Amino acid sequence: MKHLLQDGDVLICTSNRIIPRIIKWATKSNHIHTAQYFIKDGVEGILEAQSKGVHFLEYNDWVKRYSYEYIIYRRRIINIEQLKEKAFSKLGNTGYDYVSFMIKQPIKLLTGRWVYQGERIEGKAMICSELTTWTEGWRDYYKMTPNIVEEKMRKGTRYKLVKLS
């Protein structure tokens, strides 16, 4: 089946495997991951933050590896080259933010307060939703979760949900 993805699309993902089910239960979320689809040097792929940091994986390999179900949001107006340049600047330079995933995000869920370490520290390691929203130029990108990203895209005017047929 041919996908409907276009350069720069944001994917909001879910899965029913064991770890994603635990994440959904703990966060009371429907969505567990965000990623962006890009065509780079003729390769259709996914730029994302996973356990080994920010990486770019060929689309079909990504689908086989993770088996995510996803919805697609597309920016209504986009300068794709500028977006790509910003996104790919993190490739190989940014680790995975285990502190955010295992400490800061749970503290926020439990207390409603955010533990902020400063822009320089926040940008050296990212979770998936931080990478996606940083690339998109959102304020407070370091506070984002996949559920918040989906809600803001759905309610905002900058993005449209791509209907799958």
Distance CA 117, CA 119 (A): 7
pLDDT at 84: 95
φ, ψ for residue 56, nearest 5 deg: -120, 120
Summarised one tens digit per residue, pLDDT across range 6-62 is 999 999 999 888 877 777 777 778 898 999 999 999 999 999 999 889 999 999 999
pTM: 0.85
- Per-residue model confidence as pLDDT tens digits over 109-134: 666 666 655 555 556 788 899 999 99
Alpha carbon of residue 88 to chain centroid: 14
User: Domains plus CATH for the chain?
Assistant: 10-162 (3.90.1720.10)
